[in-house]
A and B are shown apart, each in its own frame.
Chain A
């Protein structure tokens, strides 16, 4: 079939029709969304594309606001007969349809032109008589109608009441899909239900479902790779301080912290872009970073404590240097475990260059690294952000709020192998000037392993 499945999204005013469209089309900028009646007063369409091919066209319609009056009108004009589609056509031709019922007749015309209608319901609302009237009017359009219970993720919903009421009206295929709290399975169920209603479109909907599943899988992988990339950059980052005086060290620490912060921000930007969310400042609705705990400085002890991380892990030196940085004076502590590890790594890694640097450092130079707690915090935060973005509908208007991560894997125990490995390879970090091996095979293997760890799979210890 070459044509496109036409779906009209209808429903009472302010039930989240535009939000639903945004979520289904992954388009945060579609239409206008407000918690107010009649935000959408026109019919607007969007096509769902799979690899550039349009499969489904969705049409956002104004809310039905006065269906009871249409029923009254129809009953008055039908002369007591049983109401049918002809009566509806007659209504749509009448001057009233263009006048006081303009908004409603737009909806009805669109549904008549579509193959199927999604009837969006705010499941927090009680089942009122006016909704039954709406369903009666929509029923006259002689199109299959799939009720979609929106806003079901919150605790105050009446999904059960609605299901019962709808089945009493003969609508047994009901779907719950929250346009704000996204759930892949929910979206797949929605398409599945449509498929069962529309057999000729089976193939189209199958393709759409496959594409959605594939896309979600890919998104997760790509997001984990993005986070792992950032973590390796930060873990491998090393700053060499020329002198041994405090002022020098302090300055270097500031530079290091700035670099790490910038890198984290770049990762957040990349994730938002990947999931097709945009920071929309001009509407005054800010996505995560500026508010809430995202504003917490990465390096403060509070931020670490908030995530349940111990501070002062590793060999942090004095208050002047700050908690988040390990200082390693190779000249004096060559025997220490980390130093030996780093030296060995350097010797094994890249020959001449690093050997020379080692000798230089042995003459009293110092090495600054990001400490373990900070790495843990970065990993926790970014993982949590990925999870949150995976479950955020594109219709969501409120800025993302992340709470305390419930994830224990990163808070305790040793750092995962790939990160420990990355710490020994300064040449892997983009944050180090003139890093030679950012594109090396060993780095990309480590990255893959780390992404698996982040993804909750067991990576082979290497």
Chain B
């Protein structure tokens, strides 16, 4: 289930547009009230849903109480919208019928029942041809808007009606969410396009039916004429228009008939069947058919846009849900608990008497150990035992401390404040104390290093203090975190000067 966070590739459930609509409605509500609906069971449902963030948001929204209400409102709204669509279609069909009746009922040539064939066709197809061109123009010039004036108008009308008529929070939210989603990814454009073409198709159907009826029960003479244009042009136009219906097998006027039907041509009006079928064929092929095809195309595009529609997960209203719906990690808890052993307070170090005058110095995990002050420039009675770096040097230094002759009066382990005290150090110090007779002091050095590294000196000192106590160290220097940047050797000298245990040479 490795699905992207943004563009979920998981199989959408059957009607996921509705789910998205519900989620959008819930988001609108949350945005308006300024806070997220805190429905524990909905959160849980979302968190336990498989899949990516969007899916979880959908599940969570559907599980809220508001989500259920919106879903309910949607199904009733869909019912109403269906009836509304039917009504508008019928109106459009009636409009078409009226237009056809008007075109055929008012023969424009004086003398009763003669019809100017081109004029009639123009009045039935002209307007919608212009509208079709406009639609195409809008679709290409303004791909974000457009979608057909008629369709936009009907959608707007529907929205306006809904706003005025609908009561109840859930229904209002549902309508608003619908319009919000419609404004995204061309969905609204294709929906409006579908509606536009369907309505014009209804209009054409109405006109066609009316023509059929009128031409069936009344008798007309078909004529045509022109003042400005050459006769050949119109003959060519009529023949050209007749081409497609002719292929369908409808009887079409031939050139002789066309020329014979010229307004001032002598002779009786002929070829009524050919002319009616020409008119009907033109209405069918140039009026109804393109609208049906385009309507179908728009419907398919709308379906596609609906299928591709994703919630805008970047939007603050959705993004804020992510931390609660899509956890990044799942804590497994403690697998191997800490030991239950009581930490026994160590025996207080028994006071050790100094014997002799030498002071043994050793360095423990110091940085720049080679040129550390332990190694040189010290009073002759300060004996350097070496540096503990790893377990071999540790062994060596322990052995040196044990076998130093004469035994030292005091052993000072110089440790670094930059180190985190660990049990290795504790073990070393307690072993050192076990194996020797002299008091063991710990001197904390390299405060400057610790400082530049941004270590909290007080906390670090406290850690060493604790370690010193546990290891039974006799004294920790400096006793409190020192201010400034003292030289460790000076601290040791001062401590020696004030200590009773230590002999003055």
- Of all chain A residues, the one with the shortest Cβ separation from B463 is A36
In the bound complex, residues from chain A placing their C-beta under 8 Å from that of B424 are 65-69, 130
The reply to whether B2 and A50 contact each other, CB–CB distance below 8 Å, is: yes
In the bound complex, residues from chain B placing their C-beta under 8 Å from that of A34 are 459
What's the dominant secondary structure at chain A's contact region? mixed
B313 in contact (CB, < 8 A): yes
B372 in contact (CB, < 8 A): no
- Of all chain B residues, the one with the shortest Cβ separation from A61 is B336
Q: How far is the CA of A67 from the CA of B394 in the complex (A)?
A: 13
B322 in contact (CB, < 8 A): yes
The reply to whether A35 and B316 contact each other, CB–CB distance below 8 Å, is: no
In the bound complex, residues from chain A placing their C-beta under 8 Å from that of B330 are 46-47, 49, 54
In the bound complex, residues from chain B placing their C-beta under 8 Å from that of A218 are 5-6, 313-314
Interface residues of B in 4-53 (CB under 8 A from A): 4-6, 28, 31-32, 49-53
- Of all chain B residues, the one with the shortest Cβ separation from A64 is B422
The reply to whether B339 and A102 contact each other, CB–CB distance below 8 Å, is: yes
In the bound complex, residues from chain B placing their C-beta under 8 Å from that of A124 are 453
Given A154-B454, A274-B322, CB of A45 within 8 Å of CB of B331: yes
Residue from B314, B336, B393, B463 within 8 A of A222 (CB atoms): B314
Which stretch of A22-30, A371-379, A408-416 is in the interface? A22-30
Given A13-B420, A218-B5, A226-B319, CB of A37 within 8 Å of CB of B51: no
B423 in contact (CB, < 8 A): yes
B455 in contact (CB, < 8 A): yes
1/0 contact string of B322-359 vs chain A (CB within 8 Å) = 11001111111111111100000000000000000000
B226 in contact (CB, < 8 A): no
- Of all chain A residues, the one with the shortest Cβ separation from B341 is A102
A423 in contact (CB, < 8 A): no
B435 in contact (CB, < 8 A): no
The reply to whether A51 and B332 contact each other, CB–CB distance below 8 Å, is: no
Interface residues of A in 137-175 (CB under 8 A from B): 154, 156
For A52, A109, A126, A132, the residue with the greatest tally of chain B CB atoms inside 10 Å of its CB is A52
Q: How far is the CA of A48 from the CA of B331 in the complex (A)?
A: 9
- Of all chain B residues, the one with the shortest Cβ separation from A22 is B329
In the bound complex, residues from chain A placing their C-beta under 8 Å from that of B28 are 439
In the bound complex, residues from chain A placing their C-beta under 8 Å from that of B6 are 214, 218
In the bound complex, residues from chain A placing their C-beta under 8 Å from that of B76 are none
The reply to whether B183 and A47 contact each other, CB–CB distance below 8 Å, is: no
In the bound complex, residues from chain A placing their C-beta under 8 Å from that of B456 are 35
The reply to whether A36 and B420 contact each other, CB–CB distance below 8 Å, is: yes
Interface residues of A in 414-462 (CB under 8 A from B): 438-439, 441, 444, 451
The reply to whether B338 and A41 contact each other, CB–CB distance below 8 Å, is: yes
Residue from A43, A215, A270 within 8 A of B334 (CB atoms): A43
A402 in contact (CB, < 8 A): no
Residue from A37, A50, A210 within 8 A of B463 (CB atoms): A37
- Of all chain B residues, the one with the shortest Cβ separation from A208 is B2
The reply to whether A42 and B393 contact each other, CB–CB distance below 8 Å, is: no
B499 shortest CB reach to chain A, Å: 29
The reply to whether A109 and B316 contact each other, CB–CB distance below 8 Å, is: no
The reply to whether A229 and B323 contact each other, CB–CB distance below 8 Å, is: no
Residue from B180, B331, B389 within 8 A of A128 (CB atoms): B389
B390 in contact (CB, < 8 A): yes
B310 in contact (CB, < 8 A): no
- Of all chain B residues, the one with the shortest Cβ separation from A230 is B316
Given A218-B314, A226-B319, CB of A45 within 8 Å of CB of B390: no
Q: How far is the CA of A59 from the CA of B427 in the complex (A)?
A: 27
The reply to whether A110 and B329 contact each other, CB–CB distance below 8 Å, is: no
A117 in contact (CB, < 8 A): no
In the bound complex, residues from chain A placing their C-beta under 8 Å from that of B315 are 222, 225, 229
The reply to whether A273 and B320 contact each other, CB–CB distance below 8 Å, is: yes
Chain A interface extent, by class:
35 or more
1/0 contact string of A93-118 vs chain B (CB within 8 Å) = 00000000011001001100000000
The reply to whether A48 and B333 contact each other, CB–CB distance below 8 Å, is: no
Chain B interface extent, by class:
35 or more
In the bound complex, residues from chain A placing their C-beta under 8 Å from that of B452 are 156
A315 in contact (CB, < 8 A): no
The reply to whether A13 and B332 contact each other, CB–CB distance below 8 Å, is: no
1/0 contact string of B450-486 vs chain A (CB within 8 Å) = 0011111001100100000000000000000000000
Q: How far is the CA of A226 from the CA of B317 in the complex (A)?
A: 9
- Of all chain B residues, the one with the shortest Cβ separation from A130 is B424
A12 in contact (CB, < 8 A): yes
The reply to whether B51 and A129 contact each other, CB–CB distance below 8 Å, is: no
Given A72-B391, A276-B323, CB of A441 within 8 Å of CB of B183: yes
Q: How far is the CA of A432 from the CA of B243 in the complex (A)?
A: 64
Residue from B331, B391, B419 within 8 A of A129 (CB atoms): B391
Q: How far is the CA of A415 from the CA of B329 in the complex (A)?
A: 41
In the bound complex, residues from chain B placing their C-beta under 8 Å from that of A270 are 316, 319-320
B32 shortest CB reach to chain A, Å: 8
A221 in contact (CB, < 8 A): yes
In the bound complex, residues from chain B placing their C-beta under 8 Å from that of A273 are 320, 323
Q: How far is the CA of A45 from the CA of B4 in the complex (A)?
A: 26
B501 in contact (CB, < 8 A): no
- Of all chain B residues, the one with the shortest Cβ separation from A15 is B420
Q: How far is the CA of A110 from the CA of B391 in the complex (A)?
A: 25
A395 in contact (CB, < 8 A): no
In the bound complex, residues from chain B placing their C-beta under 8 Å from that of A154 are 453-454
Q: How far is the CA of A218 from the CA of B314 in the complex (A)?
A: 7
In the bound complex, residues from chain A placing their C-beta under 8 Å from that of B339 are 41, 102-103
Given A63-B422, A69-B427, A214-B6, CB of A44 within 8 Å of CB of B335: yes
The reply to whether B314 and A51 contact each other, CB–CB distance below 8 Å, is: no
B422 shortest CB reach to chain A, Å: 4
In the bound complex, residues from chain A placing their C-beta under 8 Å from that of B459 are 34-36
The reply to whether A47 and B427 contact each other, CB–CB distance below 8 Å, is: no
The reply to whether A46 and B5 contact each other, CB–CB distance below 8 Å, is: no
A133 in contact (CB, < 8 A): yes
Given A67-B424, A124-B453, CB of A49 within 8 Å of CB of B328: yes
The reply to whether A68 and B391 contact each other, CB–CB distance below 8 Å, is: yes
Q: How far is the CA of A128 from the CA of B425 in the complex (A)?
A: 13
For A106, A129, A451, the residue with the greatest tally of chain B CB atoms inside 10 Å of its CB is A129
Q: How far is the CA of A62 from the CA of B319 in the complex (A)?
A: 36
Interface residues of B in 424-441 (CB under 8 A from A): 424, 427
Given A47-B330, A52-B50, CB of A229 within 8 Å of CB of B335: no
A404 in contact (CB, < 8 A): no
The reply to whether B51 and A13 contact each other, CB–CB distance below 8 Å, is: no
- Of all chain B residues, the one with the shortest Cβ separation from A69 is B427
B38 shortest CB reach to chain A, Å: 14
In the bound complex, residues from chain A placing their C-beta under 8 Å from that of B165 are none
B176 in contact (CB, < 8 A): yes
In the bound complex, residues from chain A placing their C-beta under 8 Å from that of B50 are 51-52
- Of all chain A residues, the one with the shortest Cβ separation from B4 is A214
Q: How far is the CA of A43 from the CA of B319 in the complex (A)?
A: 34
Residue from B2, B338, B390 within 8 A of A211 (CB atoms): B2
B334 shortest CB reach to chain A, Å: 5
A53 in contact (CB, < 8 A): yes
Q: How far is the CA of A133 from the CA of B393 in the complex (A)?
A: 13
Q: How far is the CA of A106 from the CA of B335 in the complex (A)?
A: 10
In the bound complex, residues from chain A placing their C-beta under 8 Å from that of B328 are 25-27, 48-49, 276
The reply to whether B323 and A222 contact each other, CB–CB distance below 8 Å, is: no
For B3, B331, B420, B452, the residue with the greatest tally of chain A CB atoms inside 10 Å of its CB is B420
Given A37-B422, A102-B339, A222-B314, CB of A274 within 8 Å of CB of B319: yes
Q: How far is the CA of A131 from the CA of B228 in the complex (A)?
A: 104
- Selected A-B contacts with CB under 8 Å, 10 pairs: A37-B422, A42-B336, A43-B334, A49-B327, A51-B5, A52-B327, A129-B389, A226-B316, A274-B322, A439-B31
7 further A-B contacts with Cβ under 8 Å, apart from A36-B463, A52-B326, A62-B338, are A52-B50, A66-B424, A125-B418, A129-B389, A214-B6, A222-B313, A274-B322
Residue numbers of B with Cβ under 8 A of A are 1-6, 28, 31-32, 49-53, 176, 180, 183, 313-316, 319-320, 322-323, 326-339, 365, 367, 389-394, 418-424, 427, 452-456, 459-460, 463
Question: Which 10 A/B pairs are nearest by Cβ-Cβ distance?
Answer: A129-B390, A45-B332, A25-B329, A43-B336, A222-B319, A68-B391, A41-B338, A65-B423, A65-B422, A14-B420
